[in-house]
């Protein structure tokens, strides 16, 4: 077996099934979680000042590791997409969702060395480190299932979102015309009324803007009741698709021998 094939099996998410493959998978997942925890802890000034050097070393180590991982995945992309040429396979990985996430999670570290950037922009770019949590998608089966569910139900979700958008526009326009004269400061324009419509339709009800006229209260009650149904629609679609996907996944599960790496029939 060639070196490239061996490396591919270590980093492949489905076909490796070896001790090294499992170790690397768990190591990457742990490192990503540690990075996310570090980002949260850095927001506490007292902790950041005291452990600044630790956070710096962790970031450097993570960047080095994730950069090597990114380069390796580009290198073995032609084995992942075996039906494509080497160039096309590598381009497919680079432009794929997970490939973009892999790049964006390390790019902010290198940008200041390539081009001059304002320090304030650098601080904002560092927030992209949080996107490393999306890299867990390839290491956790449940996350891959969720991604598959969202991909398969995207048309239904888009239709539902479009209906919600229409309802929001109608509700905010009607409420603006109903409440504007009674409380011009609260409902100054349709944009302010749209904020009320979002809070009401999602049944959150912040209470910062609310109708005071009789007709406005009736409209608010109708929107709140409609919101219960419309918010539940995408939830039901995703839940149903998720259950189906889990059933299919269990039906397709293969029992692999840990010694010879072959399927047990």
CA-closest candidate to residue 200, choices 231, 161, 177, 159: 231
Residue 213 falls inside a structural domain: yes
At residue 123, what are phi and psi to the nearest 5 degrees? -65, -40
Q: Which of 77-81, 140-144, 226-230 has the highest mean pLDDT?
A: 77-81
Pick the last residue of a domain from 116, 139, 162.
Answer: 139
Q: Answer yes or no: do 121 and 158 share one domain.
A: no
Which of 69, 60, 57, 70 is closest to 100 using CA atoms? 70
- Please check whether residues 13 and 97 belong to one and the same domain: yes
CATH classification of the domain holding 94:
1.20.120.350
| CA atoms within a 13 Å half-sphere pointing along the CA-CB vector of 98 | 17
Higher pLDDT, 131 or 207: 207
Q: Are 19 and 121 found together in one domain?
A: yes
Provide the pLDDT for residue 64. 92
Q: Confirm whether 263 is domain-assigned.
A: no
- Where residue 220 falls among pLDDT bands split at 50, 70, 90? confident
The Cα–Cα gap between 36 and 244 comes to 31
Asked whether residue 102 is domain-assigned, the answer is yes
Residue 216 lies in a domain: yes
Do residue 87 and residue 178 come from a single domain?
no
Could you tell me the two tokens for 90? 């590598």
108 against 185, higher pLDDT: 185
Total number of domains constituting the chain: 2
pLDDT in tens, 164-178: 888 888 888 999 999
Domain co-membership, 88 together with 197: no
Tell me which residue of 30, 27, 34, 25 sits closest to 57, measured CA to CA: 34
Coil/strand/helix, residue 256: strand
* CATH label of the domain that carries residue 216: 1.10.287.70
Copy the structure tokens of residue 227. 């919101």
On whether the pTM is more than 0.85, the answer is no
In-domain check, residue 228: yes
Q: Would you call 43 exposed, middle or buried from its count of C-beta atoms within 10 A (0-12, 13-18, 19+)?
A: exposed
pLDDT band at 61 (very low <50, low <70, confident <90, very high): very high
Residues 107 and 183 in one domain: no
pLDDT, one tens digit per residue, over 124-145 is 555 666 666 666 666 556 666 7
Q: Above 60 in pLDDT, residue 242? A: yes
Q: Are residues 133 and 10 in the same domain?
A: yes
Backbone angles phi, psi at 172, to 5 degrees: -70, -40
Residue 183 in domain: yes
Q: Which residue has the higher pLDDT, 42 or 205?
A: 42
Beta carbons of 12 and 21 less than 8 angstroms apart = yes
Mean pLDDT of 59-88: 88
Residues 6+ apart with CB under 8 A from 152: 241, 245
Tell whether 129 is covered by a domain.
yes
Q: How far is CA 94 from CA 72, 103, 214, 235, in A?
A: 12, 8, 57, 32
Q: Are residues 37 and 93 in the same domain?
A: yes
What is the Rg, in whole angstroms, of the alpha carbon atoms belonging to the chain? 25
Tell whether 147 is covered by a domain: no
7, 130: one domain: yes
Could you tell me the residue range of the domain that residue 50 belongs to? Answer: 3-139
Q: Considering the chain, what is the average pLDDT of its residues?
A: 79
Distance CA 89, CA 38 (A): 34
257: pLDDT strictly greater than 60:
no
3-state secondary structure (DSSP) of residue 246: helix
Q: Lowest-pLDDT range, 14-18, 110-114, 181-185, 223-227?
A: 14-18
Task: Write down which residue in 90, 114, 139 finishes a domain.
Answer: 139
- Look-up of token digits 């480190």: 129
16 and 56 both lie in a single domain:
yes
- Length reported for the chain: 265
Specify whether 115 is located in the same domain as 188: no
Residues 176 and 228 in one domain: yes
Share in percent of the chain as helix, strand, coil (round to 5): 75, 0, 25
């Amino acid at each position: 077996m060639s070196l490239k094939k061996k490396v591919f099996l270590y980093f492949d998410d489905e076909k490796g099934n070896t001790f090294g493959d499992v170790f690397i998978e768990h190591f990457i997942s742990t490192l990503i979680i540690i990075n996310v925890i570090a980002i949260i802890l850095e927001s506490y000034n007292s902790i950041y000042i005291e452990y600044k050097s630790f956070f710096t070393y962790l970031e450097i180590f993570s960047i080095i590791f994730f950069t090597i991982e990114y380069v390796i995945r580009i290198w073995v992309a032609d084995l992942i997409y075996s039906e494509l040429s080497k160039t096309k396979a590598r381009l497919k990985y680079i432009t794929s969702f997970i490939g973009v996430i892999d790049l964006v999670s390390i790019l902010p570290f290198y940008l200041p060395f390539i081009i001059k950037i304002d320090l304030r922009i650098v601080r904002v770019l560092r927030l992209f480190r949080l996107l490393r949590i999306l890299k867990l998608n390839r290491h956790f089966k449940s996350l891959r299932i969720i991604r598959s569910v969202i991909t398969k139900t995207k048309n239904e979700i888009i239709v539902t979102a479009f209906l919600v958008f229409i309802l929001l526009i109608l509700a905010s326009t009607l409420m603006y015309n109903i409440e504007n004269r009674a409380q011009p400061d609260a409902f100054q324009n349709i944009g302010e009324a749209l904020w009320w419509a979002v809070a009401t339709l999602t049944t959150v009800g912040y209470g910062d803007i609310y109708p005071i006229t009789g007709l406005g209260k009736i409209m608010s009650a109708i929107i709140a009741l409609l919101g219960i149904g419309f918010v539940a629609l995408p939830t039901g679609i995703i839940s149903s698709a998720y259950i189906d996907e889990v059933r299919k996944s269990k039906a397709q599960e293969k029992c692999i021998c840990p010694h010879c790496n072959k399927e047990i029939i």
